[in-house]
């Protein structure tokens, strides 16, 4: 597995990370504990060193799972987790008060069975707490050795700059894919200017870009609350998948591999974190790191996507309101 450095921080991670949320917090069921741990360790065995979790996934149980699964490899892997959701439930609201950050960090250390967190993100920007106070609190945790690097998630360029002036931001985590390209407008140029790495979540469009979704989702699927995944919007947006599938077939790769290779080709300091519960999908994703897209292929992909208008919001209203603008 190739390695990448997240901006100027010096933090080196596998080019492709592993988003752990779906192991037990996605479609209403997830994997049983034994199978989830097996998959995590299979990822390590295949070269992935970058794992993403959060107290809000479960809540709490995902961190416990990741902690147990990665325990034998702790010194070899980078574990990222997050604070900032009130009572660890995104729909409940936000809470990034300094005392909460400290309490969450201590609890996460115990659940992850470790004495340090490699990368600690603010899950969502809390409008009621100055970002300078948040950055200052994490700076203290770094000086105490409990945290190594500071990250933000779904933060605006303005917020990123303010936080970075107090404690260097190592990485921004936000949604980015051929299904959602908004970060290209302002976020990616800001990150490049400041030397901050980019960790795209949902690089496969929450599974849409794999080409496996073409009708109504199962009732237990958590994506049902996302407007883009209404039955009507799925049908309308399939034009994107069909177009990308044609390009992928010409290169003898899957549509999902094309989507990941495209992200990896954007900047050398981008490390996406696709998630999966299936070993064959994990292996498929990993193979995307060996795919080289030519300038002509990238231009064709961009022209194709730019000519398609996608429909549906990417979050339900209660979560959309939490996005920092």
Question: For this structure, is 57 an active site residue?
Answer: yes
CB 163 within 8 A of CB 169: yes
Nearest to 170 by CA among 325, 3, 12: 12
Q: Taking every pair of C-alpha atoms in the chain, what is the biggest distance, in angstroms?
A: 54
Which of 240, 247, 238, 241 is CA-nearest to residue 299?
247
Q: Which own/partner contact pairs does 301-309 have at CB distance under 8 Å and 24+ positions apart?
A: 301/178, 301/244, 301/247, 301/258, 301/262, 304/243, 304/244, 304/247, 305/178, 305/181, 305/240, 305/243, 305/244, 308/239, 308/240, 308/243
CB burial of 213-239 (b: ≥16 within 10 Å; e: otherwise) equals beeebeeebebbebebbbeebbeebbe
Instruction: Outline where DSSP puts E strands in the chain.
Output: 3-5, 12-14, 18-19, 50-52, 78-83, 117-122, 147-153, 169-175, 197-201
Which residues are 227's β-sheet partners? none
In angstroms, how far is CA 188 from the centroid of its own chain? 15
C-alpha distances out from residue 195 to 90, 250, 261, 268, Å = 29, 36, 22, 12
Catalytic center residues: 57
């Amino acid at each position: 597995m190739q390695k990448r450095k997240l901006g100027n921080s010096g933090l080196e991670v596998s080019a492709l990370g592993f988003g752990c949320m779906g192991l037990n917090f996605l479609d209403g069921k997830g994997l049983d504990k034994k199978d989830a741990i097996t998959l995590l360790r299979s990822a390590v065995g295949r070269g992935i060193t970058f794992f993403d979790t959060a107290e809000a996934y479960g809540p709490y149980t995902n961190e416990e799972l990741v902690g147990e699964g990665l325990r034998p490899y702790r010194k070899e892997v980078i574990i990222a987790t997050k604070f900032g959701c009130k009572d660890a439930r995104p729909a409940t609201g936000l809470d990034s008060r300094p005392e909460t950050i400290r309490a969450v960090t201590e609890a996460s250390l115990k659940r992850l069975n470790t004495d340090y967190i490699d990368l600690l993100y603010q899950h969502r920007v809390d409008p009621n707490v100055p970002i300078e106070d948040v950055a200052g609190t994490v700076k203290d945790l770094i000086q105490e050795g409990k945290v190594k690097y500071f990250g933000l998630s779904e933060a605006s360029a303005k917020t990123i700059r303010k936080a970075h002036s107090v404690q260097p931001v190592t990485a921004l985590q936000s949604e980015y894919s051929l299904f959602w390209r908004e970060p290209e407008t302002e976020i990616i140029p800001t990150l490049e200017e400041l030397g901050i790495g980019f960790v795209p979540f949902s690089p496969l469009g929450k599974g849409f870009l794999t080409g496996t979704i073409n009708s109504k989702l199962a009732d237990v699927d958590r994506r049902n609350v996302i407007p883009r995944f209404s039955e009507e919007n799925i049908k309308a947006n399939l034009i994107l998948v069909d177009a990308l599938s044609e390009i992928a077939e010409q290169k003898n790769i899957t549509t999902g591999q094309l989507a990941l290779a495209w992200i990896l080709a954007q900047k050398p300091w981008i490390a996406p974190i696709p998630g999966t519960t299936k070993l064959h999908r994990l292996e498929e994703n990993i193979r995307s790191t060996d795919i080289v897209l030519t300038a002509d292929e990238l231009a064709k992909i961009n022209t194709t996507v730019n000519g398609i208008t996608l429909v549906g919001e990417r979050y339900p209203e209660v979560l959309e309101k939490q996005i920092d603008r």
